[in-house]
Amino acid sequence: MKLLEERILKDGKMRDGGILKVDTFLNHQMDIKFLNEIGKEFKRLFSDQQITKILTIEASGIAIASIASQYFDYVPVVFAKKTKSKNLDGELLTSQVRSYTKGIVTDIQVEKKFLKPEDKILIIDDFLARGQALMGLIDIVNQAGATVVGCGIVIEKGFQDGGKMLRDKGIRVESLAIVDSIGEGSISFIEQ
Amino acid sequence: MKLLEERILKDGKMRDGGILKVDTFLNHQMDIKFLNEIGKEFKRLFSDQQITKILTIEASGIAIASIASQYFDYVPVVFAKKTKSKNLDGELLTSQVRSYTKGIVTDIQVEKKFLKPEDKILIIDDFLARGQALMGLIDIVNQAGATVVGCGIVIEKGFQDGGKMLRDKGIRVESLAIVDSIGEGSISFIEQ
């Protein structure tokens, strides 16, 4: 997605060690008009699919998934929670996710009632690097007996192994930008 | 907001101890078409104000704030983070928030660069009970030297003291539904 690559070049912060910060428009401060363009693009890519629900994970996936839903006939959006609160008191589907950014393993959970065997789920998230969050979400969809139609990712770090691992498992992954390499102040993308 | 009260009566789960679960449409699974109605109503209530940015807190405020932004000329949405990640490396504004639901005190943080002294901030959140999250967000806006235009709340628990505390401080609080009392399977609202 040209518009996204241009925005990353303009507003992203690139650092040695494969670090890309897009917090001015994607995952801390959010440009909602731009997220609408992202939502439209996900719809274009998955227009051949019938989707009944969008699944994401807190926190940075929520805005992207919610705006995208508007282009998928307003299907419900469910987000997996990373903390257990008193409000989660139904039967839970849980999985474990290792975050390399935060250096911890987190239990993620979704109330079972929100995912039905007949559901066709589009998983949406901001980043795909090692694929741990997506694997956790796919695990939860599988536990529910529902179908993963595919994963819609805003930015994939093509130099990490998550995308290959998921595609090797037969999961459809559509990433709007795939980063080839990141250096201090520089970034290159894989032509799609 | 009549539509909201009706939706709470239809889909909310009320329990003794003042507990109201609205996880089927507001804060775990989200009805995006309905969130658009909420966004429109916030716009109607704050149409007399010039707003340059919406501030919320992860996780359940994000979808509401993002959809609402579309009715405020797509102003940027910023969410306060509850966990410190390696991605938060700029100068931070922080405050402490006690969560009675989760039984913990959390540091919340916003990168300073996202809130400027000239910003006129609308704070949006799903619930107002004791007002701790809102107080933390207001504290952060004050640290930035920006202006809090008001707080847009979906559901206020009128039987708890947060709303009174904030209004006594001169903060404009607009709640789309104010709950008077909650019992096992029953709920009543304060007429607005």
Chain A hits for B129, CB-CB cut-off 8 Å, are: none
Chain B hits for A33, CB-CB cut-off 8 Å, are: 74
CA distance A22 to A66: 19
pTM, 2 dp: 0.96
Chain A hits for B157, CB-CB cut-off 8 Å, are: none
Residue A85 and residue B101: Cβ atoms within 8 Å?
yes
pLDDT of residue B8: 98
Rg (C-alpha) for chain A, rounded Å, is 16
Residue B59 and residue A63: Cβ atoms within 8 Å?
no
How many Cα atoms are found within 13 Å in the side-chain-facing hemisphere of B176?
A: 28
Count how many domains chain A has: 1
CATH of the domain at B79: 3.40.50.2020
Average pLDDT over residues A45-56: 98
Distance (Å) from the alpha carbon of B170 to chain A's nearest alpha carbon: 27
Helix (H, G, I), strand (E, B), or coil: what is residue A110? strand
Query: Considering chain A, what percentage of its residues have pLDDT values greater than 70?
Result: 98
Residue B85 and residue A78: Cβ atoms within 8 Å?
no
Residue A30 and residue B66: Cβ atoms within 8 Å?
yes
Distance (Å) from the alpha carbon of A171 to chain B's nearest alpha carbon: 24
Indicate whether B90 belongs to any domain: yes
Residue B102 and residue A85: Cβ atoms within 8 Å?
yes
- A86 → closest Cβ in B36, B70, B101: B101
- B70 → closest Cβ in A32, A77, A101: A32
Torsion sign over Cα A161, A162, A166, A169? positive
Q: With cut-offs at 50, 70 and 90, classify the pLDDT of residue A90.
A: confident
CA distance B119 to A7: 23
CA distance A65 to B157: 28
Residue B78 and residue A102: Cβ atoms within 8 Å?
no
Chain B hits for A110, CB-CB cut-off 8 Å, are: 28
User: Look-up: residue for tokens 């940027």?
Assistant: B76
Chain B hits for A101, CB-CB cut-off 8 Å, are: 85-87
Return the number of other C-beta atoms located less than 10 Å from residue B93's C-beta.
19
pLDDT (tens digit, 0 to 9) for every residue of chain B, 192 residues total? 999 999 999 999 999 999 999 999 999 999 999 999 999 999 999 999 999 999 999 999 999 999 999 999 999 999 999 987 666 678 999 999 988 777 889 999 999 999 999 999 999 999 999 999 999 999 999 999 999 999 999 999 999 999 999 999 999 999 999 999 999 999 999 998
Please give the helix or strand (H or E) that residue A138 lies within, else none.
helix A132-144
Residue A28 and residue B81: Cβ atoms within 8 Å?
yes
pLDDT of residue B2: 96
pLDDT tens-place string over residues A103-113: 889 999 999 99
Indicate whether B177 belongs to any domain: no
**Helix ranges (DSSP H) in chain B:** 2-11, 32-45, 60-69, 132-144, 162-168
Task: Extract the tokens encoding B62.
Answer: 């994000």
Torsion sign over Cα A105, A106, A107, A109? negative
Indicate whether B185 belongs to any domain: no
pLDDT tens-place string over residues A11-26: 999 999 999 999 999 9
SS (H, E, C) A37-75: HHHHHHHHHCCCCCCCEEEEECCHHHHHHHHHHCCCCCC
- Which residue segment(s) compose the domain that B145 sits in? 2-170
Indicate whether B48 belongs to any domain: yes
Distance (Å) from the alpha carbon of A105 to chain B's nearest alpha carbon: 13
Is pLDDT above 90 for A100?
A: no
Is pLDDT above 80 for A101?
A: no
pLDDT tens-place string over residues A118-144: 999 999 999 999 999 999 999 999 999
Chain B hits for A140, CB-CB cut-off 8 Å, are: none
Indicate whether B184 belongs to any domain: no
pLDDT tens-place string over residues A142-161: 999 999 999 999 999 999 99
Q: What is this model's ipTM?
A: 0.96
- Could you give the angle at the alpha carbon of B62 between the alpha carbons of B21 and A127, nearest 5°? 120
Find which of B26, B60, B87 to mutate to test the A interface (most A CBs within 10 Å of its CB). B87
pLDDT of residue A87: 65
Residue B79 and residue A28: Cβ atoms within 8 Å?
yes
Chain B hits for A79, CB-CB cut-off 8 Å, are: 28, 30, 59
CB B71, CB B43: distance < 8 Å: yes
User: Look-up: residue for tokens 């227009």?
Assistant: A47
Residue B67 and residue A62: Cβ atoms within 8 Å?
no
